[in-house]
Protein backbone atom coordinates (compact mmCIF):
# COMPACT_ATOMS: atom_id res chain seq x y z
CA UNK A 1 0.00 0.00 0.00
CA UNK A 2 1.36 3.42 -0.97
CA UNK A 3 1.85 5.98 1.75
CA UNK A 4 -0.28 9.05 2.23
CA UNK A 5 1.03 12.58 2.50
CA UNK A 6 0.13 14.51 5.66
CA UNK A 7 -1.08 18.08 5.29
CA UNK A 8 -1.59 20.10 8.45
CA UNK A 9 -3.84 23.14 8.28
CA UNK A 10 -2.34 26.18 10.00
CA UNK A 11 -5.24 26.26 12.46
CA UNK A 12 -4.49 22.66 13.51
CA UNK A 13 -0.79 23.48 13.89
CA UNK A 14 -1.69 26.38 16.20
CA UNK A 15 -3.96 24.10 18.22
CA UNK A 16 -1.11 21.61 18.66
CA UNK A 17 1.29 24.40 19.69
CA UNK A 18 -1.27 25.58 22.25
CA UNK A 19 -1.28 22.28 24.14
CA UNK A 20 0.48 22.83 27.46
CA UNK A 21 2.05 19.41 27.97
CA UNK A 22 5.04 18.64 25.77
CA UNK A 23 4.39 14.92 26.25
CA UNK A 24 0.84 15.29 24.92
CA UNK A 25 2.13 17.27 21.92
CA UNK A 26 4.68 14.56 21.13
CA UNK A 27 2.08 11.78 21.32
CA UNK A 28 -0.31 13.73 19.08
CA UNK A 29 2.41 14.37 16.47
CA UNK A 30 3.39 10.68 16.60
CA UNK A 31 -0.25 9.64 16.11
CA UNK A 32 -0.58 12.00 13.12
CA UNK A 33 2.66 10.64 11.64
CA UNK A 34 1.23 7.12 11.95
CA UNK A 35 -1.57 8.08 9.56
CA UNK A 36 0.98 8.09 6.71
CA UNK A 37 0.92 4.31 6.44
CA UNK A 38 -2.75 3.72 7.28
CA UNK A 39 -5.17 6.63 7.71
CA UNK A 40 -8.00 4.25 8.62
CA UNK A 41 -6.09 2.75 11.51
CA UNK A 42 -7.61 0.88 14.45
CA UNK A 43 -9.49 3.36 16.62
CA UNK A 44 -10.33 5.81 13.86
CA UNK A 45 -14.01 6.59 13.50
CA UNK A 46 -15.86 8.02 10.53
CA UNK A 47 -17.69 11.26 11.34
CA UNK A 48 -21.46 11.12 10.88
CA UNK A 49 -22.70 13.10 7.92
CA UNK A 50 -19.35 13.07 6.11
CA UNK A 51 -18.00 10.60 3.58
CA UNK A 52 -14.29 11.35 4.01
CA UNK A 53 -13.81 12.76 7.52
CA UNK A 54 -12.50 10.78 10.44
CA UNK A 55 -11.45 11.27 14.02
CA UNK A 56 -8.96 9.49 16.17
CA UNK A 57 -8.28 9.80 19.85
CA UNK A 58 -4.93 10.31 21.52
CA UNK A 59 -5.25 10.47 25.28
CA UNK A 60 -7.61 13.32 26.15
CA UNK A 61 -7.30 14.82 22.68
CA UNK A 62 -9.06 14.26 19.40
CA UNK A 63 -7.56 14.61 15.92
CA UNK A 64 -10.06 15.31 13.13
CA UNK A 65 -8.89 14.73 9.58
CA UNK A 66 -10.02 14.26 6.00
CA UNK A 67 -8.80 11.45 3.72
CA UNK A 68 -8.38 12.12 0.00
CA UNK A 69 -7.73 8.70 -1.53
CA UNK A 70 -7.29 10.02 -5.08
CA UNK A 71 -4.49 12.40 -4.10
CA UNK A 72 -3.21 10.09 -1.32
CA UNK A 73 -3.45 12.88 1.24
CA UNK A 74 -4.54 13.15 4.85
CA UNK A 75 -5.52 16.68 5.81
CA UNK A 76 -5.55 17.35 9.56
CA UNK A 77 -7.84 20.27 10.25
CA UNK A 78 -8.69 20.10 13.95
CA UNK A 79 -6.84 19.02 17.09
CA UNK A 80 -8.25 19.67 20.52
CA UNK A 81 -9.37 18.39 23.87
CA UNK A 82 -12.22 15.88 23.64
CA UNK A 83 -14.59 18.20 25.50
CA UNK A 84 -14.11 20.88 22.82
CA UNK A 85 -13.90 18.84 19.62
Task: Answer for the pair 35, 42: CB distance below 8 angstroms, yes or no.
Answer: no
Tens of pLDDT along 34-66? Answer: 999 999 999 999 999 998 999 999 999 999 999
How much of the chain exceeds pLDDT 70, in percent? 99
- C-alpha pair distances (Å), 38 with each of 15, 60, 78: 23, 22, 19
Q: What is the 3-state secondary structure (H, E, C) of 5-68?
A: EEEECHHHHHHHHCCCCHHHHHHHHHHHHHCCCCCCCCCCEECCCCCCEEEEEECCEEEEEEEE
The domain 5-81 is classified under which CATH number: 3.30.2310.20, 3.40.190.10, 1.25.10.10, 3.30.930.10?
3.30.2310.20
Three-state DSSP at 78 gives strand
Amino acid sequence: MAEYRILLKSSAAKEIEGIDSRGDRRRIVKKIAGLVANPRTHGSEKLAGHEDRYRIREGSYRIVYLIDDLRREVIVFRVGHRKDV
